[in-house]
Amino acid sequence: MEVLVAILAAGAVFLFAAYAIRARTLRPAEARLRALPVEGTPAAVENPDGSVTLLRQAPTSPISRFLSSNNYAARWQMDLDRADIKLRPNEYFMIRLGLAVATVALFTVIGRSGIVFLISLPLSFIVYMLPAYWVNFRIRRRREKINKQLVEALTQMTNGLRAGFAFTQAMDVAARQVGPPIGDELGRVLLDINLGKTTEDALLAMNERLQSEDVDMLVTAILIQRQSGGNLAEVLENVAETIRERERITGEIRTMTSQQRLSGWVLSLWPVGLGLFLAAVNPGLMKLFFTMTLGNILLAVWVILWLIGVFAIRRILDIDW
pLDDT tens digits, residue range 211-270?
A: 888 888 889 998 898 888 788 888 888 988 888 888 888 788 778 878 888 888 888 888
Asked if 245 and 261 sit in the same domain, the reply is no
How many domains does one find in the chain? 3
Tell me the residue range of the domain where 214 lies. Answer: 147-254
Sign, CA dihedral 320-189-73-11, equals negative
- Quickly state the pLDDT bin for 12 (edges 50, 70, 90): low
Asked if 81 and 163 sit in the same domain, the reply is no
Asked if 241 and 265 sit in the same domain, the reply is no
Residue 318 resides in a domain: yes
Q: What is the pLDDT of residue 69?
A: 53
Q: What is the pLDDT of residue 59?
A: 46
Asked if 74 and 157 sit in the same domain, the reply is no
Q: What is the pLDDT of residue 198?
A: 87
Asked if 247 and 185 sit in the same domain, the reply is yes
Asked if 244 and 299 sit in the same domain, the reply is no
Residue 56 resides in a domain: no
Cβ–Cβ < 8 Å for 183, 173: no
Higher pLDDT, 253 or 157: 157
**What is the residue-averaged pLDDT of the chain?**
76
Asked if 159 and 211 sit in the same domain, the reply is yes
Residue 18 clears pLDDT 70, i.e. is over it: no
The radius of gyration computed from the CA coordinates of the chain, to the nearest angstrom, equals 25
Report the percentage of the chain scoring pLDDT > 90: 0
- Quickly state the pLDDT bin for 312 (edges 50, 70, 90): confident
Residue 130 resides in a domain: no
Peptide linkage before 181 cis (omega within 30 of 0):
yes
Residue 36 resides in a domain: no
Mean pLDDT of 265-276: 85
Residue 303 clears pLDDT 80, i.e. is over it: yes
DSSP symbols for 226-264: HHH---HHHHHHHHHHHHHHHHHHHHHHHHHTHHHHHHH
Q: What is the pLDDT of residue 25?
A: 44
Residue 125 resides in a domain: no
pLDDT tens digits for range 28-73: 444 444 444 444 444 454 555 555 444 444 445 555 555 555 567 7
Q: How far apart are CA 166 and CA 89, in angstroms?
A: 38
CATH number of the domain within which 184 lies: 1.20.81
Mean pLDDT of 146-172: 88
Q: What is the pLDDT of residue 109?
A: 74
Q: How far apart are CA 307 and CA 315, in angstroms?
A: 12
Asked if 220 and 289 sit in the same domain, the reply is no
Q: What is the pLDDT of residue 116?
A: 64
Residue 194 clears pLDDT 80, i.e. is over it: yes
Residue 178 clears pLDDT 80, i.e. is over it: yes
Q: What is the pLDDT of residue 17?
A: 54
Residue 177 clears pLDDT 50, i.e. is over it: yes
Q: What is the pLDDT of residue 11?
A: 58
Catalogue the long-range contacts made by 106-112 (C-beta closer than 8 Å, 24 or more residues apart). Answer: 106/9, 108/5, 109/2, 109/5, 109/6, 109/9, 110/290, 111/290, 111/291, 111/296, 112/2
Residue 313, exposed/middle/buried by CB under 10 A (0-12, 13-18, 19+)?
A: middle
Asked if 244 and 261 sit in the same domain, the reply is no
Asked if 185 and 279 sit in the same domain, the reply is no
* Helix extents (H) in the chain: 2-24, 28-34, 62-69, 72-83, 89-111, 114-162, 167-178, 182-194, 199-210, 213-228, 232-256, 258-281, 283-291, 293-317
SS3 (DSSP) at 46: strand
Asked if 319 and 280 sit in the same domain, the reply is yes
Q: What is the pLDDT of residue 113?
A: 61
Asked if 272 and 216 sit in the same domain, the reply is no
Mean pLDDT of 164-173: 87
Query: What's phi and psi for 52, nearest 5 deg?
Result: -120, 135
Sign, CA dihedral 129-130-132-136, equals positive
Higher pLDDT, 161 or 105: 161
Residue 321 clears pLDDT 60, i.e. is over it: no
Q: What is the pLDDT of residue 3?
A: 47
pLDDT tens digits for range 99-119: 888 888 877 777 666 666 666
- Which of these ranges, 3-7, 56-60, 78-82, 167-171, has the smallest mean pLDDT? 56-60
